[in-house]
Amino acid sequence: MTTLTGSCYCQNIKYEVTLNSPDDARTSLCHCRNCKKAFGANYGLTAKIPKDALKITQGKPKGHSADNGSGMVINREFCGNCGSFILEYGEAVKNKFRYIVVGSLDDPEALPPKGEFFCKDRVSWMPEVPSKSTFHADLGT
């Protein structure tokens, strides 16, 4: 078992992720326009984990739900005090998965990326993640 901890910037929200193995998480970059806006950066970085692997141990994140433009409702949760983005999940997989914002983990190197999505929307100055085992997709989920 691996237990990882995370929090928002102001520490009002804290959480734990418990996995059988770190390999059960799928960390990926996403270069799509929605992630750029939601993360306030040139890409989004999340780790997909089973829903039950996540336990919010302190505080209650605020939520925002919206159609991402392709008919898919995305739920995003963040700290209502400091604004840190904590997690997201599509309405279609709400009973199965959570996508943790990797920068909110206390150890940001705990779950290295396995792939990149929407590479066609990658900003021109950013290189690919250099790994033989990392996939690079033009679209994504």
Q: Which residues bind Zn ion (CB under 5 A)?
A: 8, 10, 12, 30, 32, 35, 44, 79, 81-82
Q: Minimal distance in Å, beta carbon 123 to Zn ion?
A: 13
Are residues 5 and 105 in contact, defined by beta-carbon separation less than 8 angstroms? yes
Q: What are phi and psi of 70, to 5 degrees?
A: -115, 15
Residue nearer to Zn ion on the CB measure, 110 or 116: 116
Kindly tell me the burial class for residue 75, based on how many C-beta atoms sit within 10 Å of its own C-beta (0-12, 13-18, 19 or more): middle
Residue nearer to Zn ion on the CB measure, 49 or 84: 84
Q: Minimal distance in Å, beta carbon 21 to Zn ion?
A: 26
Q: What share of the chain is helix, strand, coil (3-state, %, to 5)?
A: 15, 45, 40
Q: Minimal distance in Å, beta carbon 22 to Zn ion?
A: 23
Residue nearer to Zn ion on the CB measure, 8 or 110: 8
